[in-house]
Amino acid sequence: MANYTGPKVKLSRRVGVPIADIPKHTGKRQLNPPGQHGFRGRRLRDYGLRLNEKQKVRFHYNVLEKQFRLYVDKAGRLKGNTGDNLLRLLEQRLDNVIRRLGWARTIWSARQLVAHGHVLVNGRKVDRPSYQVAPGDTITLKEGIQKIVRENMESMAGHQVPGWLSFDPSTLTGKIDTEPTPDQVPLDLNMNLIVEFYR
């Protein structure tokens, strides 16, 4: 299955939480279930609850099912809690770091910024949105895109950069200070349900 290109608000309505931090997704009306009158149907069973939780994470990070399954497998091989490892791997994706720095309003625009070759990691161009950043990495932008990024930042006044990142607005330079922890992720998730879904 290819990348989803349909209306993104429909995804927010389907899982019942905003998957992007913009008014279009966070409005009260947008959290009604999809359908003409927001028909919810029957109460979700155990499988449905786990599936819904997994879809929340997939939609939030804009990851396809096959790629998400690979992340779950990789998280299971690492030491520690599988759910925490999975969340850390997803947070350390380059496109997500761009969003957390406030350089792009949504994960989709952050992905485009990376894929078009505007982002430099440690001085080298990286055009893979799934690139895993590590503590100590420095992220900068090419000259031609800086004006657009500054406009994006102005439109998101009040955006908070998480504690595991540091950001210098004068030079538009971001740095990965440490690995993210689950409490630094602005999402209300039950990662154990997601791990159970794949067991």
Question: How confident is the prediction along the chain (199 residues), in pLDDT tens digits per residue?
Answer: 467 777 777 777 777 777 777 666 666 555 666 666 656 666 778 888 888 889 888 988 989 999 999 999 999 999 988 989 999 999 999 999 999 998 988 889 899 999 999 999 999 999 999 999 999 999 999 988 888 888 888 887 777 888 899 988 888 899 999 998 888 887 778 888 888 888 8
pLDDT of residue 1: 47
pLDDT at 184: 83
| Residue showing tokens 């690995």 | 179
The CATH number for 8-90+191-197, chosen from 1.25.40.20, 3.50.50.60, 1.10.1050.10, 3.30.70.260, is 1.10.1050.10
- Entry pTM: 0.85
CA–CA dist 31, 147 (Å, integer) = 34
Query: What residue ranges do the domains of the chain occupy?
Result: 8-90+191-197, 94-178
Between 3.40.1350.10, 3.10.290.10, 3.40.50.720, 3.30.70.260, what CATH number should domain 94-178 receive?
A: 3.10.290.10
| One-letter-per-residue 3-state SS of the chain | CCCCCCCHHHHHHHHCCCCCCCHHHHCHHHHCCCCCCCCCCCCCCHHHHHHHHHHHHHHHHCCCHHHHHHHHHHHHHCCCCHHHHHHHHHHCEHHHHHHHHCCCCCHHHHHHHHHCCCEEECCEECCCCCCECCCCCEEEECHHHHHHHHHHHHHCCCCCCCCCEEEECCCCEEEECCCCCHHHCCCCCCHHHHHHHCC
- In this structure, the strands spanning 119-121 and 165-168 are unpaired
